[in-house]
Structure 1
Amino acid sequence: MHLITILLIGIIANIDNLAIGCSYGLKKTKISFTSNLIIALLSMLFSFLALLAGHWITHSMTSDFANALGGCLLLIIGGFTITSTFFERSSSFIESQLPFLKILYHPKKADLDENHQISSKEALLLGFSLALNSITTSFSVALTDSSFLIYTLSIGIFSFAFIAFGVKVGGLLQNKMAGLELLAPLLSGLLLILIGCFEMIS
């Protein structure tokens, strides 16, 4: 997988972070440098573990097959990302009782004490929730013979940058927030499908 493609996937995997950052900026909720760093490090950790799992599996298959499989998985993930935007996740009793599950399904609700400040504890929960979004993508990337270091760093860097940028501009997107939350997964899903197709035929 080419360097530009790896960086592009790093961006795609963090588009949700941009929308989340904008949401918090709109609510005037602050995310400190430390909290944002925690989120980025968790994303890097989970992505690296997924890369290791994918790399371990590639030992039992040829490189061509691994590339094709990785591309196929990216295509499937992209399709799922697009279709899932049209289905609202319903809240359950368990979700309402467990803050962890509430944040898992609704990252925008990580400010549990509603003090307009994401604490380190809340950052851990938010980071875990956002990191889960990139696990399957990272696993797929590992099957396509990519650089672990570059990909993992791109995940962390874009995670940090997108959340920070999103918080800054959130206040300027008041009437466009709903459109951004819908556009982000649609755009990321479409790009994953295109990259998946490219990897399958290359």
Structure 2
Amino acid sequence: MSFLASFLFAFTANIDNFTVGAAYGIKKVKINLTGNFIIAIITAAGTLISMVIGTSIQKFLPAKFNNMIGSVMVIAIGMYFIIDYFKHKDVATDNAPDNESIDYGTVMKDPIKADRDYSGNIDKKESVLLGTALAINNFGMGVGASMSGMDIWKTSIFAFVLSLVMFNVGYIIGNKMLSNILGKYGTLISGILTVLLGIYEFIF
């Protein structure tokens, strides 16, 4: 599968990293290079594992249907992101109470809650939580992407590199209006790009 498709998939999957980075930039929550590497490694590992699973599933399906099923999965996930955006766009998030369980769903809804001790810094353990949340959020996309024919290693490497880049870029411009716009519409943008990527894979 093309170099471009792998890059676009990794870019789309890492829009959440940009959004999280922007949120941290706005709130002045710091994360060091080690924490960023941990997130990137977990993101890439999640992509690799999900794509390996997708490749394994392919073996039990007729070859002529693999690309179609994978592409439809990617499109469906993109549609889910779009629907989820419109479903929750007006829901405000508050600081987590002390007794709230912080799981990956909570972190994805409000990335600031990954800073469980409210120290203003994301430590190594909190980076693992955040990286895991981001990886789980993109797991289904990885399965669909591999079934549609994307190269596992290219895509995983792109996922690692773009995780580092987009998180840092998001953080750096976190106090700019652009980040507010992309942060607010991140889920919608990701959903639209995912649908377009699925359509591209289906046609080509």
Same fold per superposition (TM over 0.5): yes
1:99 to 99, 102, 118: 102
Q: Name the counterpart of 1:131.
A: 135
| Paired letter, 2:190 | S
Q: Which runs of 4+ in 1 moved over 4 A?
A: 93-96
Call closer, same or farther: CA 1:178–1:96 in 2, change over 3 Å: farther
Shift, 1:86, TM fit: 1.8
SS at match of 2:174: helix
Percent identity over the alignment is: 27
Aligned pairs for 1:148-187 (under 5 A) are 148-173=152-177, 177-187=179-189
Say whether residues 1:14 and 2:14 are aligned partners.
yes
Name the CA distance, whole Å, in 2 between partners of 1:73 and 1:95: 38
Q: Deviations over 1:152-194 (max 9, x none)?
A: 1111111111111111111223xx5553223222122112111
Q: Name the counterpart of 1:121.
A: 125
Q: Name the counterpart of 2:201.
A: 199
Q: How many matched pairs?
A: 199
How does the TM-score come out when normalised to structure 2?
Answer: 0.89
Name the CA distance, whole Å, in 2 between partners of 1:146 and 1:53: 13
Name the CA distance, whole Å, in 1 between partners of 2:151 and 2:22: 30
Name the CA distance, whole Å, in 1 between partners of 2:16 and 2:6: 17
How does the TM-score come out when normalised to structure 1?
Answer: 0.90
SS at match of 2:37: helix
Q: Over the residues paired in the alignment, what is the CA RMSD in angstroms?
A: 2.2
1:147 to 148, 151, 167: 151
Q: Name the counterpart of 1:190.
A: 192
Structure 2 residue runs without a partner (length 5+): none
Call closer, same or farther: CA 1:60–1:33 in 2, change over 3 Å: same
Aligned pairs for 1:52-131 (under 5 A) are 52-88=52-88, 97-100=100-103, 102-131=106-135
Q: Which deviates more from structure 2 when the two are superposed, residues 12-21 or residues 58-67?
A: 58-67
8 Å CA contact retained: 2:107, 2:113? yes
Shift, 1:90, TM fit: 8.9
